[in-house]
Structure 1
């Protein structure tokens, strides 16, 4: 005899749908199939042959070799951006002015200050006239030291400026003459 479900039987009401235990069996079977596919891919990679990838999907990682998408050192990225945008000459100028004590030594850096570097001419201000004379005599040594540190054509000339006296000019307008000295009595 055949089993005919009765109208009150659970099998009859869920004829088109799976029940809880059937859903669990189906999910377990799908998980086992996916695990078997992953195991086959891993074993194929271990054997040295490439597994068949589905068409249309691209790999998002860079792989074991170097790639332009890999993390780069910050200094390399900054130098590449500076080179692309034409900032390199200004950066080398800033290097000379910013690292002045390391480039020329502490003894010289204590007695002079770099004011500007434009078109290869470095302007130094000495703290006294004696140091201005000394720096003028040391120009060749300073140029060779700077060329070795930052490059040959960065600094081509050095102009030394001595200390300046106090200025009595304040503001855009002034009158020619001796200034405030003639009003002191």
Structure 2
């Protein structure tokens, strides 16, 4: 065993300057530890964290950032995106189609967007364009957000019930939709 000890190089003896450096590093670490402990003790006496010069989670946010954070925390990304589509409908489908067809509702569970048209001709046209429109919406919202486009024709006039109504006849309402 004495041979193994002699094979190891002996650590060099530290001079006065090196000893002073080591002592300084050790003193700084001890001071840092004491300062952190004192800071924690002071915060506990004050009742918790206080605002400081650096940014933290309690600082005010710009309105857009606060809304985005709320949407993310609540899991409202898809409904908010679909709501944005309803607001940008003319840019997505073009002004001519937007003039005759408008989105009514979005079923998040079935992922179906319901659109109502002002004439049966436009409803037929939109049914033919549905695959391209669904692809365009999913490109904008994220894949799989809209699986189907449900196209409704015009609502037609309100049905009237009364003494002058012939039984069994629906009237002009039966030609719509």
TM bracket, shorter-chain basis: 0.5 to 0.7
More helix by share: 2
Deviation string 1:9-37 (CA, Å, 9 cap, x unpaired) is xxxxxxxxxxxxxxxxxxxxxxxxxxxxx
Deviation of residue 117 (structure 1)? Answer: 0.9
- What secondary structure, in the 3-state scheme, does the structure 1 residue paired with 2:144 have? coil
Q: Aligned in 2, Cα 1:140/1:67: closer, same or farther, shift over 3 Å? A: same
- Quote the Cα distance in structure 2 between the aligned partners of 1:117 and 1:90: 8
Q: Aligned in 2, Cα 1:121/1:59: closer, same or farther, shift over 3 Å? A: closer
Instruction: Determine if contact 1:62/1:70 at 8 Å carries over to the other structure.
Output: no
Q: Aligned in 2, Cα 1:179/1:132: closer, same or farther, shift over 3 Å? A: closer
Instruction: Determine if contact 1:146/1:155 at 8 Å carries over to the other structure.
Output: yes
Segments of 5+ residues of structure 2 without an aligned counterpart are: 1-34, 44-48, 173-177
TM-score if structure 2 supplies the norm length?
0.57
Q: Aligned in 2, Cα 1:72/1:170: closer, same or farther, shift over 3 Å? A: farther
Segments of 5+ residues of structure 1 without an aligned counterpart are: 1-51
2:149 is the counterpart of 1:158: yes
- Aligned pair partner of 2:74 in 74, 82, 85: 85
- Aligned pair partner of 1:109 in 91, 98, 103: 98
Q: Give RMSD over aligned pairs.
A: 3.1
Deviation of residue 109 (structure 1)? Answer: 0.7
- Aligned pair partner of 2:57 in 46, 56, 68: 68
Paired position in structure 1 for 2:159: 168
Structure of greater Rg: 1
- Quote the Cα distance in structure 2 between the aligned partners of 1:94 and 1:170: 37
2:126 is the counterpart of 1:135: yes
Aligned length: 126
